[in-house]
Structure 1
């Protein structure tokens, strides 16, 4: 089977973990090629995510790398499974691969935490609110492109309402709640929907009031997706060139500290609901 031309973020992550396992064990790519009975080029392809690795070969590699963590290894083996058809496949070739990588990351996560400072979290947005955000993109999107993005964003929300919903915590700065995306009526309905969503057992919304002053990562949106084991957690940040995914130990530690700060500083879920109600009354 030829190498993939466009591996997904999930496939690239498996390759990155295999490379980390190999380098931390001090093994060369040539040694691993001989160990697994493949050529050197295939090792590079595996580590770049353009070629898959079988569970048996992965276990062989883990054994020679002295990887004792069975939970971590089992999670890696799960990543080797061929992707199953998913609802977001209908957007392939219509939306960027980065947007599809985000929804795949969310779908396979065990818990999601986000920080938003400019607008309400995408997983909790209404259609009108989301449409107003995409309508403001430069260069301007066509009506079809806007509607594709709105439909995709609404689809992402299935992760919170499916049979086994993912746990979600959304930290939202007060400034984001007061931005009038789509006008007062659209914002009012959005804030009502935000309160309604926060009443689900798997969803918590936490507000950071402006009177708390400065805070870490001001101005940057953050998505932290927990994996089946902590080593497979992933951070996703937005950039002008598309989503960026980070997962080194130092990066994960930095953003875990960021989330811990928000957890300490934000209002409680109940106080956050009351705070949002007060903003609704002011609109």
Structure 2
């Protein structure tokens, strides 16, 4: 029995519960249909117990799941046995941060829309350090470096040989925040320009001139999974990350990102815009 299931293990259990509920079956009815003990099913759905890929496939068939991509993805999730690099931080960082790294690692595509800070996957080490120095309550210098190291390691998803397609929509306000002073800010802006030239990375700027727009008060991270129902929204809150995966929530944030993209400059215009800001620092 697991005492500390990962976010991905919890998600697998939750998706199996959703399949059961869509089939109109109670936990008791499903356990009788599938020939398993009800407490065993409850533990699987809660992420406290593992389940074999074969059983996941069987359950999906019994639940009349017609979404092959979803079924295949859930089978793959059940088959995973390798611990990710983020597990080395299990005893030193909050679990939601590890869950975020896990979501990013498995994402098929990532979209970020942010108004105040540069997205974490595009931050320089100095920029990230300055952000952590402003945390409340204060973090000790060694712990700051520990968090900076973790954030930089997360960026592997856009540097690896099969990089994850990444779109960042950034408000002008975030570009003009002189975190760490002009030199640090200028290096951060140049880093954005350099990253925007990579084929799999799209950076778009929402200028002040765009005025008000939907989603302006939020920082949104949208991870696309192997099937739409396995997408994940991450909202960055002062008390820690919040993850959303209900169908209605996913639909809402897809619309918000689309509306933010609609008022943003093109990638080419955005690159010139960032260059102009950096030039005047």
**Interval containing the TM-score (normalised by the shorter chain):** over 0.9
1:180-222 CA distance string (max 9 Å, x none) = 1111110000000110011111101000001111122223211
**Unmatched 5+ stretches in structure 1:** none
Q: CA deviation at 1:224?
A: 0.1
Q: Does the 8 A contact of 2:110 with 2:221 survive in 1? A: yes
2:175 match: 177
User: Match of 1:33, SS?
Assistant: helix
Q: Is the 8 A contact 2:121 2:154 kept in 1?
A: yes
For 1:24 and 1:103, locate their aligned partners in 2 and report how far apart those are by CA, in whole Å: 30
Alignment correspondent of 2:161 = 163
Q: Is the 8 A contact 1:32 1:61 kept in 2?
A: no
Q: Where does residue 276 of structure 2 map in the other structure?
A: 278
**Distance (whole Å) between structure 1 residues aligned to residue 214 and residue 11 of structure 2:** 27
Which of the numbers 49, 69, 75 marks the counterpart of 1:77? Answer: 75
Secondary structure of the residue aligned to 1:214 is coil
Task: Using the TM superposition, give the Cα deviation of residue 241 of structure 1 relative to its aligned residue in structure 2, in angstroms.
Answer: 2.8
8 Å CA contact 2:215–2:257 kept in 1: the answer is no
Measured in 1, the distance between the counterparts of 2:257 and 2:176 equals 22
Q: Which residue of 2 aligns with 1:126?
A: 124
Q: 1:201 aligns with which of 183, 194, 199?
A: 199
In 2, the alpha carbon distance for the partners of 1:53 and 1:32 equals 15
Output the CA distance in 2 between the equivalents of 1:273 and 1:69.
Answer: 40
CA distances 1:33-81 after superposition (whole Å, capped 9, x unpaired): 2333332111111111111221222222212211122111001111112
1:31 Cα deviation (Å)?
2.2
Residue 222 of structure 2 is matched in structure 1 by 224
Partner of 1:157: helix, strand, or coil?
helix
| In structure 2, C-alpha distance between the alignment counterparts of 1:127 and 1:58, rounded to whole Å | 41
State the match for 1:92 in structure 2.
90
Does 2:139 correspond to 1:141? yes
State the Cα distance separating 1:32 from its structure 2 match.
2.1
RMSD: 1.1
Q: TM-score, normalised by structure 1?
A: 0.96
> What are structure 2's unaligned runs of at least 5 residues?
none
Q: Deviations over 1:65-98 (max 9, x none)?
A: 1112211100111111234132222211011111
Displacement, 1:104?
0.5
Q: Separation in 1 of the partners of 2:106 and 2:20?
A: 25
Aligned length: 281
- Give the aligned partner of residue 117 of structure 1: 115
TM-score, normalised by the number of residues in structure 2 = 0.97
Tell me what 1:260 maps to: 258
